A and B are shown apart, each in its own frame.
Chain A
Amino acid sequence: MSEIQKKINQLIENREQARLGGGQKRIDAQHAKGKYTARERIRLLLDEGSFEEFDMFVTHRCYDFGMEKSHAFGDGVVTGYGTIGGRLVYVFAQDFTVTAGSLSLSMSEKICKVMDMAMRNGAPCIGLNDSGGARIQEGINALAGYANIFQRNVMASGVIPQISAIFGPCAGGAVYSPALTDFIIMKKETSNMFLTGPKVVKTVTGEDVTQEQLGGAMMHTTKSGVAQFAVDTEEEGIELIKKLLSYMPQNNMEDTPLTVCTDRIDRLEDSLNEIIPDNANKAYDMAEVIKAIVDNGEYLESAAGFAKNIITCFARFNGQSVGIIANQPKFMAGVLDINASRTAARFVRFCDAFNIPLVTLVDVPGFLPGTTQEYGGVITHGAKLLFAYCEATVPKITITLRKAYGGAYIVMSSKHIRGDINYAWPTAEIAVMGASGAVGVLHAKELAAFENPEERAKFVAEKEKEYNDKFSNPYNAARYGYIDDVIEPRNTRFRIIRALQSLATKRLQNPPKKHSNIPL
């Protein structure tokens, strides 16, 4: 055997060893937990044969606490690039089979390398997290490693899409990298995210909680809103990443991807003419409206389990990606509250950062009253959504289906905050407040003078009707040009597509500044 062949054989051997990560035994243990290994996950994620790996031969440089005895190739993370549907992405996947995927300085350097390259080449960065936390043996260097990643997450934010999938534990400082990214997907049962685990919680607050209760996928997608998606299987999570990316451009300088539209753009949807119930107190399902107007009825809802009173989703019109923000009258009357405002504000800002036009479907009775909301700072949180819409320079199309009252009317992408095209259905009620409240204020003196309650009720009914006739319609707003047109509901799809086409060349810039001061 020639010298060179020996060297080549050595390389092949090294590669094979690196591919085994922490060894077959640990791989089997990973499988027994119902989890895939880092490499298997990458194989599921990327187009076949597209993966190019970096830093396979990196090892840690720690010589304390017995760490000098084992130096696994790759040091607990698999990094590199490949394609998804032919589009370039960078990826890192933590390998739980190597020192429980714990983060060392070397591991962080590998992750930082792909993040830097993703930024430089303008491609999304995907993190598949499965890590026991900081590698304690490395001490402060492990923290330095996290910090280096956080800094890059922040610098990349709004430049390239960043998606995190949590497929295992993610505790302590580790949670902040996903938290800084655009979307978090969690696998039910096997993944969790928390700053301090159940043991510490027990000693500090005395609460008995399981990992799942404290930081499981269901908790984070329904209670805390930390994660947007909960999935049953890792395969489902991986498919979701692909689907999400399909709606996004590669970076902030690129237009949204166009796909071939197989749905007629002038499709009339007669069901929409009937969808608003005659009784103004009755709800309907906004999801039905979205399904009826978007391409092929397909949309991908973000944060579906959290703040159900607002729908935030990606969809397509004539093949072009849009972000849809819609009040959901079916839940909590579609009010804006703290959670809805936060969720929608973040979604609006994501879309604006990545040139994804916004379509807003309005049916909002107002902001939710009450001490819980006010004590919780609904003013600040509501201001986030207002801020996000005001700041957004992407095309903004608004359809008012029914209610648009008071401050919530302004917030929901009204004409006044640079809404480009604002349409209303004939069922729209655009007013400063509802009839009963308005009558109470406008006729306070007369009302106080009544002694007979029946006469009073008659007077109220009369005045409410007068108010409704005058203000509970779209025409008053249309009279001032705050509504560009009142449209037939069944024609909504076509009108939105036309509007999007006209706005494709929209040019709008905010004044130069270091950054804004959004009320966080």
Chain B
Amino acid sequence: MKDYSLKINGHNYDVQIDDVNDASTVAHVKVNGTAYEVEIVGAKSAVTTKPHVAPAHPAANSAMITPATAAPSPRIGAVAPSTGYTVKCPLPGTVLNINVKVGDQVSTGQTLLILEAMKMENNIDADRGGVVKEILVQQGATVMEGDNLIIIE
């Protein structure tokens, strides 16, 4: 059992991860007291190396957790701030190209990424201006309607 105190996007998370070894495919993780079953998808080396991950590198930790199925839940808190917003996927498709990077300043109507769906290249534009805080998908990823794509602050 390992305990972490993480700070993601200014929010504190107490994370408990049970013992995970090479053979594990599922980890039991508690975030702020809520239990999640996290599926481990091909990240063995990251898991097995002794994580001397201190709160100083919260990003690395969250990246380790996020690919799994339970990922969206701990993120809810981060999505909430009233100034920012999450760009959601309007229709199921494949991410063809991501036009922005984290930290980029974007303006209203700017194309953030291109989504191939219904055999068309669809521009996903920014509803409002802001700074790209997080990109939650990768090029080539298959995304569903309502999935979170990019967080703008």
A interface, by DSSP: helix, strand, loop or mixed?
Answer: loop
Whole-angstrom CA separation of A331 from B120 in the bound complex: 10
- Which residues in chain B, 78-135, are within 8 Å of chain A measured between CB atoms? 90-92, 116-123
Q: Which of A333, A372, A434 contacts B122 (CB 8 A)?
A: A333
Whole-angstrom CA separation of A334 from B117 in the bound complex: 11
Whole-angstrom CA separation of A335 from B145 in the bound complex: 13
Please, how many residues of chain A have a CB less than 8 angstroms from a CB on the other chain? 21
Chain A residues lying within 8 Å of B47, measured Cβ to Cβ, are: none
Chain B residues lying within 8 Å of A282, measured Cβ to Cβ, are: 120-121
Does A337 reach chain B (CB closer than 8 Å)? yes
* Pair B123/A333 contact, Cβ less than 8 Å: no
Chain A residues lying within 8 Å of B91, measured Cβ to Cβ, are: 332-333, 335, 337, 368, 370
Say whether, besides A337-B91, A370-B92, A373-B145, A332 and B122 are in contact (CB < 8 Å).
yes
User: Chain A: which residue is nearest B91 at the CB level?
Assistant: A332
In the complex, how many angstroms separate the beta carbon of B129 from the nearest chain A beta carbon? Answer: 15
Chain A residues lying within 8 Å of B122, measured Cβ to Cβ, are: 283, 331-333
Does B146 reach chain A (CB closer than 8 Å)? yes
Q: Which of B121, B144, B145, B146 contacts A283 (CB 8 A)?
A: B121
**Range class of the B interface residue count:** 10 to 19
Chain A residues lying within 8 Å of B144, measured Cβ to Cβ, are: 370, 372
* Pair B92/A365 contact, Cβ less than 8 Å: no
1/0 per position for A311-343, CB-CB distance to B under 8 A?
000000000000000000111111101000000
* Pair A369/B120 contact, Cβ less than 8 Å: no
Q: How many A-B residue pairs have CB under 8 A?
A: 49
Does A161 reach chain B (CB closer than 8 Å)? no
Q: Which of A331, A366, A372 contacts B145 (CB 8 A)?
A: A372
* Pair B123/A283 contact, Cβ less than 8 Å: yes
User: Chain B: which residue is nearest A213 at the CB level?
Assistant: B82
* Pair B123/A330 contact, Cβ less than 8 Å: yes
Whole-angstrom CA separation of A334 from B145 in the bound complex: 15
- Which residues in chain B, 55-91, are within 8 Å of chain A measured between CB atoms? 90-91
In the complex, how many angstroms separate the beta carbon of A322 from the nearest chain B beta carbon? Answer: 27
Whole-angstrom CA separation of A237 from B91 in the bound complex: 32
Chain B residues lying within 8 Å of A280, measured Cβ to Cβ, are: 119
1/0 per position for A426-447, CB-CB distance to B under 8 A?
0000000010100000000000
Chain B residues lying within 8 Å of A368, measured Cβ to Cβ, are: 91-92, 118, 145
Does A281 reach chain B (CB closer than 8 Å)? yes
Whole-angstrom CA separation of A330 from B115 in the bound complex: 12
In the complex, how many angstroms separate the beta carbon of B53 from the nearest chain A beta carbon? Answer: 33
* Pair A434/B119 contact, Cβ less than 8 Å: yes
User: A residues touching B (Cβ–Cβ < 8 Å)?
Assistant: 280-283, 329-335, 337, 365-366, 368-370, 372-373, 434, 436
5 closest A-B pairs by CB:
A333-B120, A333-B118, A365-B118, A372-B145, A332-B91
